[in-house]
């Protein structure tokens, strides 16, 4: 605390500013001595800790700090009996490091600055192989294929007894993400530069391109985009004639592309896409789909048109989920 008020009384003579002076002869060099001795003041270098704030002050600093607040006699008593002397410890001298330790430090510093030796190619390849992600077990892929097949029902649609509805997969985002991961893993080995998806269900596989970090190119029907190159007319899987287009400059010479759609049926759309890529001087490394309808021989047509490979993740044999149709169901694909 700061110096006490004048009216303060205490039984402890060391805590009151109104205490009696020390007996004659009891003082030291810097305290009051016997009557008649001249007071020589406090040691200007001595510091004492003020209990009020915990900081160490010299006598002059303490007086200056409490100037105008307390009288000198009150401060003298406060300094003597309530401020505790600050001990003066001897400065620590750093011991010199042993020679062996100093040499070790210097060596470590030199090694850090020195350029690292180039590792042999074989060793670098071995390290890269160790860090590479492990291949997914084919059995796990098969389980995933079965799980996806269960959520893709078939409908009587467009005069077909079985029309597979991919909308069922979109209700299960985890399965869709897993499907795209399988595709990305496969295409990464092929070092593809672009993924091309057909309007409209092929656009659902945009995440494959995102996982690979390559551009996704939309292949759209004629009249849907400006500044395009056309495949020319082709016969669609079910009925009618159509035309597929890509924007100029989207595909360039020496691109390695994957054409992707929801399924391979007769191969008409995929073959039109292959023809379009050929016009752009790109290579179709694979025609990929979620489902391959093998009975319609689309695979053979695509290979003959110039695709290096045709791949379907789910066999039609697994697609046995029949849609639950309401009583008023109507095949509205017959228009």
Domain of 22, in residue numbers: 13-85
- The domain total for the chain is 2
- Tens digits of residue pLDDT in 220-237: 999 999 999 998 888 776
Question: Is 129 within the bounds of a domain?
Answer: no
Q: Given pLDDT bands bounded at 50, 70 and 90, which one contains residue 18?
A: very low
Q: Among residues 237, 286, 292, 316, which one is catalytic?
A: 237
Q: Using the predicted structure, report yes or no on whether residue 27 has a pLDDT greater than 80.
A: no
Query: Given this model, what pLDDT does residue 113 score?
Result: 60
Select from 85, 105, 120 the last residue of a domain. Answer: 85
Handedness of CA 37, 42, 48, 52 (dihedral sign): positive
CATH number at residue 311: 3.40.50.2020
How many angstroms separate the CA atoms of 206 and 213, rounded? 11
Question: Is 99 within the bounds of a domain?
Answer: no
Q: Among residues 80, 188, 201, 243, which one is catalytic?
A: 201
Flag whether the pTM goes above 0.85.
no
Question: Is 37 within the bounds of a domain?
Answer: yes
Question: Is 66 within the bounds of a domain?
Answer: yes
Rounded to 5 degrees, φ, ψ at 207 are -55, -25
Smallest CA-to-CA distance from 47 within 57, 36, 34, 61 is with: 57
Copy the structure tokens of residue 224: 């849907």
Can 299 be counted among the known catalytic residues?
A: no
Query: Given this model, what pLDDT does residue 210 score?
Result: 96
* Strand ranges across the sheet with 56-57: 56-57, 48-49, 84-85
Give the mean model confidence (pLDDT) for residues 126-152: 70
Query: Given this model, what pLDDT does residue 296 score?
Result: 87
Query: Given this model, what pLDDT does residue 237 score?
Result: 67
Question: Is 212 within the bounds of a domain?
Answer: yes
Question: Is 216 within the bounds of a domain?
Answer: yes
The answer to whether residues 306 and 191 belong to one domain is: yes
Q: Using the predicted structure, report yes or no on whether residue 94 has a pLDDT greater than 70.
A: no
How many angstroms separate the CA atoms of 262 and 240, rounded? 19
Query: Given this model, what pLDDT does residue 32 score?
Result: 47
Q: Given pLDDT bands bounded at 50, 70 and 90, which one contains residue 252?
A: very high
Can 237 be counted among the known catalytic residues?
A: yes
CA atoms within 13 Å, Cβ hemisphere of 2:
11
Cα dist from 283 to 18, 91, 211, whole Å: 105, 79, 21
Question: Is 242 within the bounds of a domain?
Answer: yes
Better-predicted residue by pLDDT, 101 or 188: 188
Question: Is 283 within the bounds of a domain?
Answer: yes
How many angstroms separate the CA atoms of 311 and 305, rounded? 15
How many angstroms separate the CA atoms of 31 and 38, rounded? 10
Query: Given this model, what pLDDT does residue 183 score?
Result: 95
The listed range with the strongest mean pLDDT (217-226, 232-241, 320-329) is 217-226
Query: Given this model, what pLDDT does residue 51 score?
Result: 85
């Amino acid at each position: 605390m700061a110096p006490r008020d004048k009216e303060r009384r205490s039984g402890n003579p060391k805590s009151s500013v109104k205490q009696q002076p020390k007996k004659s002869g009891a003082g030291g060099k810097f305290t009051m001595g016997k009557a008649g001795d001249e007071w020589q003041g406090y040691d200007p270098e001595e510091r004492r800790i003020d209990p009020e704030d915990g900081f160490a002050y010299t006598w002059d600093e303490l007086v200056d700090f409490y100037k105008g607040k307390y009288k000198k006699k009150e401060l003298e008593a406060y300094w003597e009996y309530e401020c505790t002397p600050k001990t003066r410890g001897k400065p620590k001298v750093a011991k010199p490091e042993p020679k062996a330790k100093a040499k070790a430090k210097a060596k470590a510093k030199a090694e850090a600055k020195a350029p690292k030796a180039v590792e042999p190619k074989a060793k670098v390849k071995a390290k890269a192989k160790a860090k590479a992600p492990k291949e997914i077990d084919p059995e796990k892929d098969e389980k995933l294929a079965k799980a996806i097949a269960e959520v893709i029902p078939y409908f009587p649609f467009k005069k077909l007894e079985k029309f597979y509805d991919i909308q069922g997969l979109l209700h299960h985002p985890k399965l869709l993400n897993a499907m795209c991961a399988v595709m990305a893993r496969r295409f990464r080995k092929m070092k593809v530069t672009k993924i091309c998806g057909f309007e409209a269900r092929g656009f659902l596989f945009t995440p494959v391109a995102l996982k690979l970090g390559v551009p996704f190119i939309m292949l759209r029907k004629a009249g849907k985009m400006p500044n395009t190159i056309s495949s020319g007319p082709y016969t669609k899987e079910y009925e009618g004639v159509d035309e597929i287009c890509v924007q100029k400059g989207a595909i360039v010479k020496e691109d390695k592309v994957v054409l992707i759609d929801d399924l391979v049926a007769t191969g008409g759309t995929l073959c039109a896409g292959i023809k379009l890529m050929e016009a752009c001087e790109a290579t179709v490394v694979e025609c990929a789909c979620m489902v391959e309808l093998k009975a319609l021989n689309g695979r053979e047509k695509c290979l003959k048109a110039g695709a290096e490979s045709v791949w379907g993740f789910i066999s039609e044999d697994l697609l046995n989920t029949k849609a639950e149709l309401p009583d008023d169901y109507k095949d509205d694909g017959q228009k």
